[in-house]
C-alpha cells in the first residue's frame, strides 16, 4: 500500500476535491484505494461521494476495529471518515495519532493506495500524517500566500521529521506552462535555503467546470470526465501508478511508524 498525503500550507487550494477525484481515477485504473480524511473534526470527503458514514475516526479511537470504521464510498474506494464537528478529534495526543496510523497499517495488503487528505497548516497532526507518507504532495496555487505557506510547511517538516522528498502539484493555474513556471520559481526559493528534493507532478488548470462541480459537491471525474481538469487529474493518477510499478515503495510508509512518530530532537 503506497501512502500518499495531499497537503498544503493554507486552506482553499482544492485538497479534498483532488483526493476524492484521485481516488476515483485510481479505481478506474483497477486500483483499490483507502481514503483517510485527516482533516480531523472538520472532515468532508464523504460529502463529495454522497455517502453517510455510520462510523468515523472517533469510533476507531474509542477502540472499534478498523474494518468496522470504514465506509464504502465507490467501487474499489473505501473511506475512513474524520468526523465533522467532533471536538475531541482536534486534540488527539501523540499516542492516539500513532495508534491510528498503526491500525491503518493493518490494511497494508488490502489496498494499493492510501490517500490522506490533511488539514492545512502546521498543526502536529498535519505534520505527523505527512511524515508517514511515501509521497508527500504539496498543493501549490498562484496565490502568493500559498507560495509562502507551502514553503513554511516544507521547512517545518524537514526540521521536525527530516522529510526531504516532496512532490508539487500546481492547482488553479492558467495552463501547464504557467504551472511549470510556478514550480520552478518555488523550487528555486526552497532549494536555496533547504536541503530537500522537489519533484513536479504536473498541474491542474483552472476549470469553471471543476469549480461548478465542487460547488455542487460532486466529483468532476463523474460529472464531466472529459473536462480539462478531469483529464489532468487522470494524468496524475496514471503517473502515480507508473511510478509504483517502476519503483516499489521505499519511502517512510507504515513500516517506519515507530521512528517517524518521534520528532527529531533539537528542532522547532
Q: Identify the band that residue 2 occupies on the pLDDT scale cut at 50, 70 and 90.
A: very high
- Is the residue at 199 inside a domain? yes
The CATH number covering residue 63 comes to 3.40.50.300
The string of DSSP codes covering 75-138 is TTEEEE---BS-GGGGG--HHHHHHHHHHHHTTTTT-SEEEEEEPSS--HHHHHHHHT-SEEEE
Rounded to an integer, the average pLDDT of 6-24 is 94
**pLDDT more than 70, % of the chain:** 90
Domain that residue 90 falls in:
2-255
251 within domain boundaries: yes
Integer-rounded Cα radius of gyration of the chain: 17
What is the reported pTM?
0.90
Q: Quick one: which of 258, 250, 38, 39 has its CA closest to 164?
A: 250
Counted domains in the chain: 1
Identify whether 266 is part of a domain: no
In a domain, 247, yes or no: yes
Quick: pLDDT tens for 162-195.
Answer: 999 999 999 999 999 999 999 999 999 999 999 9
pLDDT on residue 268: 36
| Residue 262 placed within a domain | no
Amino acid at each position: 500500500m503506497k501512502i500518499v498525503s495531499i497537503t498544503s500550507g493554507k486552506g482553499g487550494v482544492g485538497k479534498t476535491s483532488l483526493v476524492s477525484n484521485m481516488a476515483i481515477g485510481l479505481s478506474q485504473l483497477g486500483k483499490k484505494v483507502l481514503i483517510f480524511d485527516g482533516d480531523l473534526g472538520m472532515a468532508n470527503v464523504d460529502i463529495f461521494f454522497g455517502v453517510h458514514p455510520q462510523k468515523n475516526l472517533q469510533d476507531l479511537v474509542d477502540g472499534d476495529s478498523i474494518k468496522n470504521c470504514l465506509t464504502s464510498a465507490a467501487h474499489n474506494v473505501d473511506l475512513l471518515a474524520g468526523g465533522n464537528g467532533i471536538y475531541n478529534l482536534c486534540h488527539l495526543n501523540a499516542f492516539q495519532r500513532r495508534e491510528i496510523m498503526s491500525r491503518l497499517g493493518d490494511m497494508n495488503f488490502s489496498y494499493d493506495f492510501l490517500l490522506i487528505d490533511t488539514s492545512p497548516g502546521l498543526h502536529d497532526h498535519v505534520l505527523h500524517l505527512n511524515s508517514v507518507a511515501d509521497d508527500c504532495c504539496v498543493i501549490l496555487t498562484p496565490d502568493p500566500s500559498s507560495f509562502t505557506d507551502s514553503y513554511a510547511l516544507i521547512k517545518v517538516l524537514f526540521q521536525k521529521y527530516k522529510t526531504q522528498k516532496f512532490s508539487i502539484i500546481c492547482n488553479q493555474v492558467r495552463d501547464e506552462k504557467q504551472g511549470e513556471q510556478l514550480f520552478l520559481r518555488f523550487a528555486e526559493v526552497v532549494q536555496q535555503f533547504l536541503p530537500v528534493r522537489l519533484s513536479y507532478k504536473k498541474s491542474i488548470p483552472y476549470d469553471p467546470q471543476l469549480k461548478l462541480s465542487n460547488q455542487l459537491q460532486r466529483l468532476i471525474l463523474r460529472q464531466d470526465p472529459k473536462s480539462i481538469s478531469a483529464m489532468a487529474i487522470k494524468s496524475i493518477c496514471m503517473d502515480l501508478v507508473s511510478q509504483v510499478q517502476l519503483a516499489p515503495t521505499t519511502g517512510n510508509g507504515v513500516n517506519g511508524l515507530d521512528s517517524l512518530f518521534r520528532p527529531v530532537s533539537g528542532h522547532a
